[in-house]
Amino acid sequence: MLLVASCDSKPPKTDGCPEEVTIGKQVWMRSNLNVDKFRNGDPIPEAKTEGEWKSLAQAGEPAWCNYDNEESNGRKYGKLYNWYAVNDPRGLAPKGWHVFSDSDWMELSDFLGGAEKAGAKMKSKTGWDNDGNGTNSSCFTGFPGGCRLSSGEFSAIGVDGYWWSSTGLNTDAAWFGYLDFVDGELNKVINTKGCGYSVRCLKD
């Protein structure tokens, strides 16, 4: 399913939540990462075309893009990164922060009442298709920013939110967490490292 991105340049409402959100013993950024440089200042390659996206992934090289290559979507939902950007030794997260691990995601889920309940508490109150909004009682403020498939196609804005973890499974795949409009579950799955997902950071 390929959906058309909104051209609205205004950021989504954040329900009055602070930029740094304490959930249990964890401190999360409220917003998805929107940087085009590594922590050391080196630029992260931007991949606009499907060919550029696939080529960088096949070479195991980092890449970022905005959904549908619209800058307004970057401001609204943050950028999409492949896992090679997440795992690059130059550091994707700002100083004092790190991309969450699979165990961090599970700790978050457990604190919010388990996978079946946590998602509704993490989803934003607006922005999800078919009235799939959450309560955002955790202030995680998860928006449905969609993804970029490893083929280079964009998909699922308004429907799903995907976040890479820093935990790899093998040479080809890594863990990610996601929320969707259908229910209030908090999910975790594996996919190929060439997919483009949002990134959310935890304080060290």
Please indicate, yes or no, if residue 6 is contained in any of the structural domains: no
Whole-angstrom Cα distance, residue 80 to residue 67?
A: 7
Cβ–Cβ under 8 Å, residues 82 and 57: yes
**pLDDT, tens digit, for every residue of 69-96?**
999 999 999 999 999 999 999 999 999 9
CA end-to-end span of the chain: 37
Please indicate, yes or no, if residue 58 is contained in any of the structural domains: yes
**pLDDT, tens digit, for every residue of 92-122?**
999 999 999 999 999 999 999 999 999 999 9
Q: What is the pTM of this model?
A: 0.93
pLDDT, residue 14, reads: 72
φ, ψ (nearest 5 deg) of residue 66: -95, 150
The candidate with the shortest Cα–Cα distance to 195, out of 180, 169, 176, 171, is 176
Please indicate, yes or no, if residue 1 is contained in any of the structural domains: no
Please indicate, yes or no, if residue 168 is contained in any of the structural domains: yes
- 46: exposed, middle or buried (C-beta count within 10 Å: 0-12, 13-18, 19+)? middle
**Strand order through the sheet with 173-180:** 154-157, 145-148, 160-168, 173-180, 187-192
pLDDT at 15 over 90: no
Confidence of residue 3 (pLDDT cuts 50, 70, 90): very low
Please indicate, yes or no, if residue 16 is contained in any of the structural domains: no
Whole-angstrom Cα distance, residue 82 to residue 198?
A: 9
**pLDDT, tens digit, for every residue of 160-190?**
999 999 999 999 999 999 999 999 999 999 9
pLDDT, residue 16, reads: 83
Please indicate, yes or no, if residue 2 is contained in any of the structural domains: no
Mean pLDDT across the chain, nearest whole number? 93
Give the domain range for residue 132. 23-203
Cβ-count burial 69-85 (b if 16+ within 10 Å, e if not): ebebbbbbbbbbbbbbb
- Quote the number of domains for the chain: 1
More confident residue, 38 or 5: 38
Please indicate, yes or no, if residue 12 is contained in any of the structural domains: no
pLDDT, residue 5, reads: 33
Please indicate, yes or no, if residue 10 is contained in any of the structural domains: no
Whole-angstrom Cα distance, residue 198 to residue 146?
A: 8
